[in-house]
């Protein structure tokens, strides 16, 4: 905070942080035999921790090699601070925002030589048809102002993007309205409900690096990962 000189986006985001950093809702009841579709659209859970190992050290080393490619993300209204990004996979290196045009999603040529192991990791994970895979950096004392990404009006959850903590400095907080903060540790992959209001704060002195993955046509194997992750997150032994 810069005493007394907060712009309105920062003021609102700070009020949101104070009001929502502790959860006020009770986690929805676990359902036995839930499938991926129900878990991601009807379960009401605010996030799902994916049961997946991520090679964060390798990925971080490659991000450092490509750091010069980061550009300001969504800064047209000056509402965020220190949020930077580039695409590993997408319509182009710098097309970090959602965009509906005829360009295909593909591995971005500029990063091929800089991040080969990261590309290999996502290729082998093969969760479906990748759309954007983006490196997202949030600089020290940066924040992502309060917003929601997909607006689906009904009161339900909508887990679609995967958010992977490549680093997670202490004192970084991803807050979701009514649910408190996602308990990220480095290497964790979560599917947060970005249909709900959220904001992110980096109160630390280090840059926070995450990767966000969007894909469609999930494979059966990824749907099974979702189902097992749901069971494990609820302390249930996954069957099947
Ligand atoms: Fe968001």
Cβ–Cβ under 8 Å, residues 70 and 86? yes
Q: What is the pLDDT of residue 154?
A: 66
CA of 15 to the centre of ligand 1 (A): 17
CA of 191 to the centre of ligand 1 (A): 11
Q: What is the pLDDT of residue 216?
A: 94
pLDDT in tens, 1-19: 444 577 888 899 999 999 9
Cβ–Cβ under 8 Å, residues 119 and 90? no
CA of 238 to the centre of ligand 1 (A): 30
**Which CATH number describes the domain made up of 8-21+32-233?**
2.60.120.330
CA of 237 to the centre of ligand 1 (A): 31
CA of 198 to the centre of ligand 1 (A): 7
Q: Identify the CA nearest to 52 among candidates 132, 107, 121.
A: 121
Q: What is the pLDDT of residue 2?
A: 45
Per-residue pLDDT of the chain (240 residues; tens, 9 = 90+): 444 577 888 899 999 999 999 999 999 999 999 999 999 999 999 999 999 999 999 999 999 999 999 999 876 667 899 999 999 999 999 999 999 999 999 999 999 999 999 999 999 999 999 999 999 999 999 999 999 987 666 667 899 999 999 999 999 999 999 999 999 999 999 999 999 999 999 999 999 999 999 999 999 999 999 999 999 999 886 654
CA of 67 to the centre of ligand 1 (A): 21
């Amino acid at each position: 905070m810069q005493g007394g000189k907060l712009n309105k986006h920062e003021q609102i985001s700070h009020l949101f942080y104070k009001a929502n950093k502790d959860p006020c809702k009770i986690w929805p009841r676990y359902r036995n035999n839930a499938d991926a579709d129900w878990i991601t659209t009807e379960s009401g859970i605010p996030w799902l921790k994916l049961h997946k190992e991520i090679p964060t050290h390798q990925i971080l080393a490659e991000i450092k090699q490509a750091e010069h490619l980061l550009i300001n993300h969504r800064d047209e209204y000056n509402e965020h601070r220190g949020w930077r990004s580039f695409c590993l996979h997408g319509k182009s290196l710098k097309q970090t925002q959602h965009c509906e045009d005829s360009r295909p999603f593909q591995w971005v040529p500029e990063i091929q030589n800089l991040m080969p192991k990261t590309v290999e990791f996502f290729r082998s994970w093969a969760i479906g048809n990748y759309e954007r895979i983006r490196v997202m950096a949030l600089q020290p004392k940066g924040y992502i102002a309060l917003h929601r990404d997909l607006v689906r009006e009904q009161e339900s959850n909508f887990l679609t993007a995967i958010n992977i903590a490549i680093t997670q400095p202490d004192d970084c907080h991803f807050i979701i309205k009514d649910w408190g903060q996602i308990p990220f540790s480095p290497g964790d992959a979560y599917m947060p409900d970005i249909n709900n209001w959220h904001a992110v704060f980096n109160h630390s002195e280090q840059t926070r690096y995450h990767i966000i993955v969007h894909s469609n046509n999930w494979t059966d194997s990824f749907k099974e990962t979702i189902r097992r992750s749901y069971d494990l997150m609820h302390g249930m032994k996954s069957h099947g």
